[in-house]
Amino acid sequence: MTVGSSCMLADRARSSARVRLERIDQHCFIAYGSSGEYLVDLREMSCECPDFRYRCGPGDIPCKHLIAALRENNQWDAYLAGLQRGPAS
Ligand SMILES: [Zn+2]
Dist. CA 28 → ligand 1 center (Å) = 12
Dist. CA 84 → ligand 1 center (Å) = 22
Dist. CA 45 → ligand 1 center (Å) = 10
Q: What percentage of the chain exceeds 70 in pLDDT?
A: 84
65-76 pLDDT, tens digit per residue, is 999 999 999 999
Half-sphere exposure of 36 (CA within 13 A, CB side): 8
The whole-angstrom separation of Cα 32 and Cα 82 is 27
Dist. CA 64 → ligand 1 center (Å) = 6
6 or 70, higher pLDDT: 70
**Is the model's pLDDT at 43 over the cut of 90?**
yes
